[in-house]
């Protein structure tokens, strides 16, 4: 049996830079993996290959065929058809997915599961695909999936498929707060189109994202929370906060309980606060759990370059 952890992520900043011909949006973002994980357990029987039936065990209330983990196997099978591997098999593959990362949270849970499935199946079935090959396949699965192949800190551009790994040895204490509501990604980007005009996106394209990412990594390393807070920005948060007053309410509560900065992660609905100590984070968690008993509130730490 092979057991792998699939980490969540946050976006330290997220700029929308345009709308593509295929309907997707171009972004420029700084991703970092965090210490909240789904777990995937892989087993095979007999002479199982990528063409074998997949048994997916999960507590998700969606059909297995619609799960990104199943999609990972389908993508691998399609890729391997061009090789000499025989499609005849008597074996079976079983993947048990245990969820900890909530859905529609802006934390990349489904994308991370898919990337981890690609990497796990590559090992389980001895496919010997390189990181670059896995990243190319990951881009076919979804916008954020390639990051989780290359993580743990990276500048992400295009629709999410262009990943430039960065080096960071600084771990930051975070508190994640997700209300019992969702902000679906397609709807969130519709709000971006409605409220942030093309001129705004064109101005974003003029930003020096590599320099901004480098500056942010430096602020992490020296724990300059004041500058970090100024650099943290999410265009999606700006576009949807008028519809969801709880965004600014939670950010205010995080600030009042000691967070040095806070931001909506991805398209939400999780908001994360950055703290300068784990002790202050624990105090904030206790207070916020009492105030919001029906919210998902979770401590996490950012994962450094060598921690995955």
Distance CA 306, CA 91 (A): 36
Indicate if 194 belongs to the active site.
Answer: no
Q: Which of 26, 38, 144, 235 is catalytic?
A: 144
Distance CA 150, CA 186 (A): 25
Distance CA 235, CA 130 (A): 34
| Token pair 């019992």 in the structure block, residue | 180
Distance CA 23, CA 25 (A): 7
Indicate if 230 belongs to the active site.
Answer: no
Instruction: Work out the angle between the directed axes of helices 278-291 and 246-256 (0-180°, nearest 10).
Output: 130
Radius of gyration of the chain from its Cα atoms, rounded to whole angstroms: 20
Question: What is the phi/psi pair of residue 24, to 5°?
Answer: -75, 165
**Which residues are the active-site residues?**
9, 144
């Amino acid at each position: 049996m092979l057991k792998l952890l699939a980490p969540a992520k946050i976006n330290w900043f997220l700029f929308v830079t345009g709308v593509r011909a295929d309907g997707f949006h171009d972004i420029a973002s700084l991703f970092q993996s965090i210490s909240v994980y789904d777990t995937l357990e892989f087993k095979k029987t007999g002479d199982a290959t990528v063409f074998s039936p997949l048994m997916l065990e999960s507590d998700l209330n969606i059909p297995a065929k619609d799960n990104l983990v199943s999609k990972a196997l389908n993508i691998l099978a399609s890729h391997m058809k061009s090789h000499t591997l025989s499609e005849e098999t008597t074996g079976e593959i079983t993947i048990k997915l245990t969820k900890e990362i909530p859905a529609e949270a802006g934390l990349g849970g489904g994308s991370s599961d898919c990337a981890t499935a690609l990497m796990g199946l590559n090992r389980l079935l001895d496919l010997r695909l390189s990181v670059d090959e896995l990243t190319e396949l990951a881009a076919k699965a979804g916008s954020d999936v390639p990051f989780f192949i290359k993580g743990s800190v990276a500048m992400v551009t295009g629709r999410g498929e262009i990943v430039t790994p960065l080096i960071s040895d600084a771990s930051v204490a975070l508190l994640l707060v997700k209300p019992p509501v969702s902000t679906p990604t397609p709807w969130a980007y519709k709000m971006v189109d409605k409220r942030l005009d093309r001129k705004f996106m064109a101005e974003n394209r003029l930003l020096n994202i590599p320099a901004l990412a480098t500056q942010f990594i430096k602020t992490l390393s020296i724990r300059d929370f004041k500058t970090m807070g100024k650099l943290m920005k999410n265009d999606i948060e700006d576009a949807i906060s008028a519809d969801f007053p709880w965004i600014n309410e939670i950010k205010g509560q995080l600030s009042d309980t000691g967070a040095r900065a806070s931001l909506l992660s991805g398209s939400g609905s999780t908001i994360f606060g950055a703290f300068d100590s784990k002790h202050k984070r624990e105090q904030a968690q206790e207070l916020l759990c009492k105030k919001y008993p029906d919210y998902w509130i979770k401590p996490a730490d950012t994962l450094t370059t060598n921690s995955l």
